[in-house]
Amino acid sequence: MVEDRPFLNFLAHAVLILGVVVVAFPVYLALIASTHTAQAFSSGVIPLLPGAEMANNYMTMLGTGMSSSGAPPLGGMMLNSLIMALIISLGKIVISITSAFAIVYFRFPFRNLAFWAIFVTLMLPVEVRIVPTFKVVADLGMLNSYAGLSVPLIASATATFLFRQVFLTIPDEMLEAARIDGAGPMKFFRDILIPLSRTNIAALFVILFIYGWNQYLWPLLITTDDRFYTVVAGIKRMAEVADAVPQWNFVMAAVMLAMLPPVLVVIFMQRLFVKGLTETEK
Amino acid sequence: MIRIAAVSAIALAASLNAASAQTEVQWWHAMGGELGMKLDEMVAAYNASQSDYKVVASFKGTYAETMTAAIAAFRANEQPAIVQVFEVGTGTMMAAKGAIYPVYELMADMGEAFDPAAFLPSVVGYYTDTAGNLLSMPFNSSTPILYYNKDVFEKAGLDRETPPATWADVEAFSAKIMESGAAPCGFTTGWISWIQTENFSAWHNQPIGTLENGFGGLETELTVNGPVQQKHWENLKKWQDSGVFQYGGPVGGNDAPPKFYAQECAMIMNSSAGRAGVIANATNFEVGYGMLPYYDDVEGAPQNSIIGGATLWVLQGKDEAQYKGVADFFSFLASAEVQAGWHQDTGYLPITQAAYDLSTEQGYYTANPGADVSIKQMTLNAPTENSKGLRFGSYVQIRDIIDEEFQALLSGGKDAKTALDALVSRGNVLIREFEAANK
Amino acid sequence: MKRTIFGNQLLPWLLLAPQLLITAVFFLWPAGQAIWQSFLREDAFGLKTSFVGLLNYRALFNDGDYVNALGVTLVFSVAVAALSMGLALLFALAVDRMLKTANMYTTLLVWPYAVAPAIAGILWWFIFNPTIGILPYLLDFVGYDWNHSLQSGDAMVLVVIAASWKQVSYNFLFFVAGLQSIPQSLREAAAIDGAGPVKRFFTITFPLLTPTTFFLLVVNVVYTMFDTFGVIDATTQGGPAQSTNILVYKVFKDGFLGLNLGSSAAQSVILMGIVIVLTIIQFRYIERRVQY
């Protein structure tokens, strides 16, 4: 701070408090909505204070689901989301770190071509190649499977570039010393590179986990079997029920549960999260 | 390579299955929740009733998702034998000559006894070709009816047992309701496309398109911008401006039912299949039922309403044993007991006269007043070429266009004529495109 | 470049194999398919296929809906970028003044980043629901009749707010980092020269934030073009009257719901072109914290 100006300080606090309130407002309403009965919403205006049905609603969603909209219990969907997010984040990290290792520490023909092939993935978000990718996945028999949910999203240029960047900052002397000790490439990779990239891996994991958990369009398209529904895509199916009004109390309980894991990750791993975000730049 | 491996793995799995005596018949459907449970009961009953075939039903999401999944599977040669397709997909399915197995051919080829005359003409008519042959098996059909709030009617000084018969009645009743303060709005409606445009046209015996509403061929053109439809859309706009009518949103009109349940609007026009849901949600008042209103100065009105819902299509590329199973299963579905049970449990229309008679005999309509309004309305008159149904390609998108043009009308951007003209010309572009792709 | 390297020839390919395989199968091959498909006319079942050259592209640019979607995407992107970056900068400047509470405020402001766009859409849809939403109820008191299923302006406001809400946190973090990298001495010198806070912001802080701002602008445009699919799908589904139908949503609607594969593929190819241009801009003209 340059100088002390009480009015500016007050204004800054006011702006931030207002910001925090506005940012939290939608979630507060969702939380309140999830503590009422379905009838509380038919009177016209949503309640602003908590109701008494919280335990009941959450137990229903976790345990039995909403049969009237073909939605299975949320517990299973959250497990699917977790599996998908873990496969995507760990998969991305593994294939990216080995790719970066190959590109930085080896000279081989078509090295540049390989680099560019990976770079291209940056330019083809799943949304623009959605129809043909769906067909490829269908042809491979991967609809309604964990592999189909995650593998097509695993290639990652940003993660590869991040690790390449990290490796380039590792002094050459490390490699020379390792060679003198007679270490082969894989030993060097395992004993030196991975430990040195540990915080980068962790930071990247936080970002990628959120990315994986929040996938929406892709799981929506390729899962038609409720055993593989993920929670974010599943909520959409709950909100649009044919010939009936959405049961807001249940939908909002599902919304709260669906956003809890990634939000907790951000809050409790804020330092890693910020590092991951600012380093990968998307 | 991977694909070949995957395909051979599937082939292997299939041959292992064939080792057991039963022939499996795959059925993809879009019935979630309670409906899905009823459907599963039906399938279980069929599987228990005989030992040659086993029907395997899989829920594949919404109607659009189920249809897309089946088409994608067909392209990958992994299609089910039976798929449930919503009525607006009929044009697309019918045009895919090499992909579908028409039901009448299937029944004849498999030597299954099949009497087309047993079906309710207004239900199956939607799914026949111009010669009257049944192409797909009607499964869940409904038609829009009028629901009204008896208590509000009484409060407004109206007779609680008399629903409005004509649109003039709707207007007059609404005025009374609003003036007396019984409710702030006269009526709302689900499905602008299905109810206020398609059914409205059929109910007034007005064409929706040329060539028998598209039944006659791909060269059809929309003609839904006639004077009667124009007058109706104009009135809806007028009523919306004066508060008599409240718009419930595009597609199914999800915001409409809450307005009726909250007693904001005294009447709602919506699917007859929603009857159970309406009763469950109308906690503070009694619900009355009526047929759709009509304009009494239009000649031929009321004609008969048309259906919505879905049918079962049989896809090509399966072996004869499976088709025999499909034919046998369809006979089971069409039997009076099964039909009557499905009709009474779900509120969907029965597809045969026998199922209707059986339900009457069982006292269903006496115990559930209003449940037969839909059937009476469907069968009010023998269907004409304007009221048999409709069949246009790309109709899913055309329905979106109907919603868009109606929204443009309500928000004041266009008048009724301009909106309907635009709807026709935009829809015809899609129909021409569809014709070109399917010639 | 590394001076010392390993000599193996096979090992690097083994290490690269998973990434390259997935890229080839799920990125390059489908992209090639999309390009090929965009020159074809095909029925939904793939029974009849004919080569039609550029017909699908020509049809798109003669199609009022597509031109409309381009415009909608532009308005949407600019509005989301402006709103979320404006608010983020405001919060970042305020947090920059804080000593003890900076961390707490940061935590309370960044968590929406973790909320999926589709869920953000549902939250705001609930708030703006014409029948039971709290905001239409409040707006009614000031005489505004909110109806996003009818009024295209209302619908656009809804999707812009829902899309910006979670993007504020992302922009905020980068502005905070950008502010921290501005040397204190510069601002102190200006203060000694008698420049007030507003003047200091416009003469020193904001110019020095330009690279961050420009970077965020591109990132936000990419975000609104692609990642907001869930927001649109959960709220307006492109309506009313196509007023929120952005390009990505149209690809999905025409391809998956309309089964018009040729047109959908042509739209995908155009989108690919747009992403490629944006990516090149991002790499060529933007000062990046990480030098690739």
CA gap B408, B423 in Å, rounded: 11
Q: Are residues B296 and B157 in the same domain?
A: yes
Q: Are residues B8 and B116 in the same domain?
A: yes
Q: What type of residue sits at position C53?
A: G
Check which CATH number belongs to the domain holding B153 and give it: 3.40.190.10
A-chain CB neighbours of C264 within 8 Å are 131
Is B396 near chain C, with CB under 8 Å?
A: yes
Residue at a domain's end among B367, B384, B402 = B367
Residue C209 token pair: 């934030």
Q: What pLDDT does B48 receive? A: 92
Is C95 near chain A, with CB under 8 Å?
A: yes
Q: Distance, in angstroms, between A72 CA and closest chain B CA?
A: 9
Q: Are residues B272 and B353 in the same domain?
A: no
Q: What pLDDT does A65 receive? A: 64
Q: Give the global pTM.
A: 0.82
Q: What type of residue sits at position B166?
A: T
Q: Are residues B57 and B115 in the same domain?
A: yes
Would you call B13 exposed, middle or buried from its count of C-beta atoms within 10 A (0-12, 13-18, 19+)? exposed
Does the beta-carbon distance from A125 to C226 stay under 8 Å?
yes
Closest partner residue to C268 (CB to CB) among A3, A129, A215 is A129
**Ordered structural domains, chain C, with CATH:** 35-284 (1.10.3720.10)
Would you say residue B113 lies in a domain? yes
Q: What pLDDT does C140 receive? A: 84
Would you say residue A32 lies in a domain? no
Would you call C160 exposed, middle or buried from its count of C-beta atoms within 10 A (0-12, 13-18, 19+)? buried
Q: Are residues B224 and B234 in the same domain?
A: yes
Interface test with C, best of A134, A175, A217 (most C CBs within 10 A): A217
Q: Compute the C-alpha angle B169/B172/B178, nearest 5°.
A: 130
Give the residue from chain A lying closest to C103, CA to CA.
A270
Would you say residue A62 lies in a domain? no
> Looking at chain B from residue 228 to 267, which residues have their Cβ under 8 Å from any Cβ of chain C?
247, 249-250, 255, 258-259, 262
Establish, for the pair of chains A and C, how many residue pairs have beta carbons separated by less than 8 Å.
296
CA atoms lying within 13 Å on the CB side of residue A87: 16
Closest partner residue to C41 (CB to CB) among B408, B413, B436 is B436
CA distance to A245, B141, B163, B174, B282, per residue, from B183 (Å): 21, 32, 16, 9, 15
CA distance to B55, C72, C221, C275, per residue, from C79 (Å): 53, 10, 10, 19
Q: Are residues B126 and B261 in the same domain?
A: no
Strands B265-271 and C40-42: unpaired
Strands B82-86 and B23-29: parallel
CA distance to B366, B428, C178, per residue, from A280 (Å): 69, 49, 16
- Res A244 pLDDT > 60: no
Q: Distance, in angstroms, between C118 CA and closest chain B CA?
A: 18
Does the beta-carbon distance from A224 to B37 stay under 8 Å?
no
Buried b / exposed e over B186-207, threshold 16 CB at 10 Å, is bbbbbbbbbbbbbbbbbbbbbb
CA gap B146, B371 in Å, rounded: 12
Does the beta-carbon distance from B247 to C149 stay under 8 Å?
yes
- H helix intervals, C24-63: 29-37, 55-62
Q: Are residues B116 and B154 in the same domain?
A: no
Would you call C95 exposed, middle or buried from its count of C-beta atoms within 10 A (0-12, 13-18, 19+)? buried
Q: Are residues B265 and B349 in the same domain?
A: no
- H helix intervals, B282-394: 320-334, 336-346, 353-361, 364-367, 373-378
CA-wise closest residue to A149 among A62, A213, A64, A245: A213
Q: Are residues B293 and B432 in the same domain?
A: yes
Q: Are B372 and B137 in contact (CB under 8 A)?
A: no
- Reported as a single tens digit per residue, the pLDDT across A196-210 is 888 889 888 988 898
Does the beta-carbon distance from A108 to C9 stay under 8 Å?
yes
CA gap A148, A224 in Å, rounded: 12
> Looking at chain A from residue 213 to 232, which residues have their Cβ under 8 Å from any Cβ of chain B?
224-226
Does the beta-carbon distance from A70 to B32 stay under 8 Å?
yes
Residue B419 token pair: 């909106």
CA gap B399, B63 in Å, rounded: 14
Residue at a domain's end among B367, B401, B418 = B367
- Residue A3 confidence class, pLDDT cut points 50, 70, 90: low
Would you say residue B185 lies in a domain? yes
Would you say residue A163 lies in a domain? yes
Would you say residue B343 lies in a domain? yes
B-chain CB neighbours of A240 within 8 Å are 62, 254
Would you say residue B384 lies in a domain? no
Would you say residue B424 lies in a domain? yes
Is A68 near chain B, with CB under 8 Å?
A: yes
Which residue has tokens 């797909």?
B136
How many separate domains does chain A show? 1
Q: Is A182 helix (H, G, I), strand (E, B) or coil?
A: coil
Q: What pLDDT does B12 receive? A: 44
Would you say residue A22 lies in a domain? no
Interface test with A, best of B255, B281, B285 (most A CBs within 10 A): B281
Q: What mean pLDDT is predicted for residues C89-98?
A: 89
Would you say residue A137 lies in a domain? yes
- Interface partners of C (3+ CB pairs, < 8 Å)? A, B
Q: Are B173 and B349 in contact (CB under 8 A)?
A: no
Residue B426 token pair: 């935009």
CA gap A48, A45 in Å, rounded: 9
- H helix intervals, B50-115: 63-75, 90-95, 103-109
Residue A249: count other Cβ atoms within 10 Å of its Cβ.
26
Would you say residue A147 lies in a domain? yes
Residue B287 token pair: 């619900």
Q: Are residues B170 and B23 in the same domain?
A: no
Q: What residues contact B366, with CB distance under 8 A and at least 6 apart?
A: none
Give the residue from chain C lying closest to A138, CA to CA.
C26
Does the beta-carbon distance from B411 to C42 stay under 8 Å?
no
Is A181 near chain B, with CB under 8 Å?
A: no
Q: Which of B364-368, C1-5, C275-279 is predicted most confidently?
A: B364-368
Q: Which domain holds residue B247?
A: 144-305+392-438
Q: Compute the C-alpha angle B310/B312/B315, nearest 5°.
A: 135
* Local structure of residue B119 (DSSP, 8 states): B
Would you say residue A184 lies in a domain? yes
Q: What pLDDT does B151 receive? A: 92
Residue B245 dihedral angles phi and psi, to the nearest 5°: -115, 135
Check which CATH number belongs to the domain holding A225 and give it: 1.10.3720.10
Q: What pLDDT does A242 receive? A: 47
Residue A134 dihedral angles phi and psi, to the nearest 5°: -60, -40
- H helix intervals, chain A: 6-33, 54-63, 74-105, 111-120, 130-139, 146-150, 157-168, 172-180, 185-188, 194-196, 198-213, 217-222, 231-239, 248-268, 270-280
The more confident residue out of C210 and A126 is C210
How many separate domains does chain B show? 2
Would you say residue A35 lies in a domain? no
Residue at a domain's end among B318, B352, B367 = B367
Q: What type of residue sits at position A17?
A: I
- Res C174 pLDDT > 60: yes
Would you say residue B376 lies in a domain? no
Residue B167: count other Cβ atoms within 10 Å of its Cβ.
22
CA gap B186, B168 in Å, rounded: 12
| DSSP result, B256-273 | HHHHHHTTSEEEEEEEGG
Provide the residue-wise pLDDT of chain B in tens; the chain has 439 residues. Answer: 344 444 444 444 444 444 456 888 999 988 766 677 788 889 999 999 998 999 988 877 778 778 887 887 787 777 899 999 988 888 888 888 889 999 999 999 998 888 888 888 878 888 888 788 889 998 888 899 999 999 999 999 999 989 999 999 999 999 999 999 999 999 999 899 999 999 999 999 999 999 988 888 889 999 999 999 999 999 999 999 999 999 988 877 778 888 898 888 999 999 888 887 788 778 789 999 999 999 999 888 899 999 888 999 999 999 999 999 999 999 999 899 999 998 888 888 888 889 989 999 999 988 888 888 988 898 888 888 888 888 888 888 899 899 989 988 988 888 999 999 999 999 999 899 888 888 7
